[in-house]
Amino acid sequence: MRSLSRKQILLLAAAVWLGGAVLIYAATGSSGKNEEFQPTGEFKLEEWLPLGFNRAVLYLLLAALLTIVTMVYIAKRMADRPNRVQTAVETVFVFMRDQIAGANLDRDMARKWFPFVGALFLFIWFNNMLGYIPLPVNDHEPISIGSLELPSFAIYAATANISIPLALSLMVWITYHIVGIRRQGLGKYFASWVPAGVEGFARGPIFLIEVISHFVRTISLSVRLFANILAGHLLILFMAGGLGVILGVAALGWFTLPAAVLFFLFEVGLVATLQAFIFATLTAIYLGGAVAAEH
Amino acid sequence: MLDFVTVLAASEEGGGSFLVKPGIGLMIWTLLAFGATLLVLRKLAFPKISEQLDKRQRAIEESIDTAEETKAEAERILAEYRQRLQEARTQAESIVARATSAAQKQQEDSLQQARVQREEMMEQTRRDIDAETRRAIQEIRSQVADLTVLATEKVTRKTLTPEDQRRLVDEAIGELDFEALAGSDGSRN
């Protein structure tokens, strides 16, 4: 048999995809709307162990461990002639040092706060990326093998839970205020909130607006990360069969599967890194703004 | 698509609110996990990576410096060699020129010397000829005198005393111009 041309392969794939959807629909039809299944249930947290240890905590600890082990392992065997992994880590390191910390902070601040900003980037990145590896953590829809109930494989991200981005955001928020007050003194720090050029009576209302904007930062910083990751996971979930389950049309699950693959690649390839980058960059910008006399 | 939206809305109503409800316990876990990560990375990972990067940066800078030095050194040596070559060439040319001029001078000298020698030899020859001529004249004179005496004897049958004869002959010869016999030497009348 002669090898198929690219066009023929594409046509064959399209035929399998559409024909499969038609065949599955013909075989199973529609079982009516499924009111029982809640997609958000995938993100519900059950307490597994005392001290509030649940799936999100497991993911947090796994991500922390992965971050530490990877970075320390690489750091321990840094060679003069780097291999590919070391080159990649070095590239990330230089990117964090020069683009995230260096570009938004002056030299002294960048040197002092690079570990904080860099650790934030890596921690969030590993948390995000861990969220795209299927792990046997789904206690919501277990697999029953005989009498044994095993958790099914699922993708879950700790950062898709508001508490985790919020905790990090609050930490950043408090940190940059402390840095600002320690550098400039209490009065001068708050005075620096008012932009340069605002004089007299206008200073009052402008200061109030700035106060609000500072508080909004905690919400914007945390919700941006949380919502992006949650939305990505929900989209993958819906496209990978969730929609078919809800509407009771199994064929729909097959039909939307390619979209799930595309969303998955999009999330892994772009969103996970981009959101970690934005979080770390904004942290650096906030820290830089806190020590600037006026902004 | 409309179904999709209603499904989403339904799922929000159906207990999705826990998604946006922060939990203090989880927040504390987050801070602990991040704090541990930060501590370990700051103590064990970042300094080593940074150090290695700085080390490599220095090594690269040193290599560039060394390469530049080597290049400058090579250029210096090349220039020196070129200069030496130039010098050698100049020197060779001057040696050849000197040799040529020396040879020429020597040739001229030997030519001059030969000329001088020839002159001297000619002078000597001339002197020898002169001396020989004079001697010959003297000889002829003497011969003529003797012959004259003999002839006179024969004619006169009288023998004079040798002294008288000699005196007479000498007087007679003295009147003769023998200078003509000297050839080129004497001025011709």
- Tell me the pLDDT of chain B (189 aa) as tens digits: 444 444 444 444 445 567 777 888 889 999 999 999 999 999 988 998 888 888 888 999 999 999 999 999 999 999 999 999 999 999 999 999 999 999 999 999 999 999 999 999 999 999 999 999 999 998 888 888 888 878 877 777 666 677 877 787 788 777 777 666 665 544 444
Instruction: Please give the pLDDT value at position B92.
Output: 94
Interface of A with B in 110-149 (CB under 8 A): 114-116, 118-120, 122-123
Q: Which residues of B touch A90 (CB under 8 A)?
A: 49, 52-53
State how far the Cα of A103 lies from the Cα of A125, in Å rounded to an integer.
20
Does any CB of chain B come closer than 8 Å to the CB of residue A237? no
The helix (H) or strand (E) run that includes residue A285 is helix A272-291
The answer to whether the CB atoms of B37 and A246 lie below 8 A apart is no
**What does the CA dihedral A164, A167, A168, A173 come to, rounded to 10 degrees?**
150
Q: Residue A190 carries which side chain, given as an amino acid letter? A: F
The answer to whether the CB atoms of B4 and A64 lie below 8 A apart is no
Instruction: Please give the pLDDT value at position B188.
Output: 44
The answer to whether the CB atoms of A80 and B59 lie below 8 A apart is yes
Coil, strand or helix at A4:
coil
Instruction: Please give the pLDDT value at position B14.
Output: 45
Comparing alpha-carbon positions, the chain B residue that sits nearest to A161 is: B19
Q: Which residues of B touch A114 (CB under 8 A)?
A: 46
Nearest Cα of chain A lies from the Cα of B44 at a distance, in angstroms, of 6
Instruction: Please give the pLDDT value at position B76.
Output: 95
Q: Which residues of B touch A98 (CB under 8 A)?
A: none
Beta-bridge partners for A249: A30
Nearest one of A19, A61, A164, A230 to B23, comparing CA atoms: A164
Instruction: Please give the pLDDT value at position B102.
Output: 92
A243-282: per-residue pLDDT in tens?
Answer: 888 887 778 888 888 888 999 999 888 999 999 999 999 9
Q: Residue A70 carries which side chain, given as an amino acid letter? A: T
The residue of A96, A162, A222, A224 whose CB has the most chain B CBs within 10 angstroms, and thus the best one to mutate to test that interface, is A162
State how far the Cα of A68 lies from the Cα of A72, in Å rounded to an integer.
6
Backbone angles phi, psi at A30, to 5 degrees: -115, 135
List chain A residues with pLDDT less than 70.
1-2, 41, 140-141, 294-295
Residues from B contacting A (CB-CB < 8 Å) are 3-4, 7, 11-12, 14-16, 18-23, 25-31, 33-34, 36-38, 40-42, 44-46, 48-53, 55-56, 59
Q: How many residues does chain B have?
A: 189
Which of B14, B25, B37 faces A52 most closely, judged by CB atoms? B25
Beta-bridge partners for A30: A249
Chain A and chain B share a number of CB contacts under 8 A equal to: 139
Interface of A with B in 250-289 (CB under 8 A): none
The answer to whether the CB atoms of B14 and A162 lie below 8 A apart is no
State how far the Cα of B27 lies from the Cα of A169, in Å rounded to an integer.
11
Residue pair A86/B53 in contact (Cβ under 8 Å)? The answer is no
Does any CB of chain B come closer than 8 Å to the CB of residue A103? no
Domain boundaries defined on chain A = 1-30, 32-291
Query: What ranges in A192-238 are assigned the alpha helix state H?
Result: 203-237
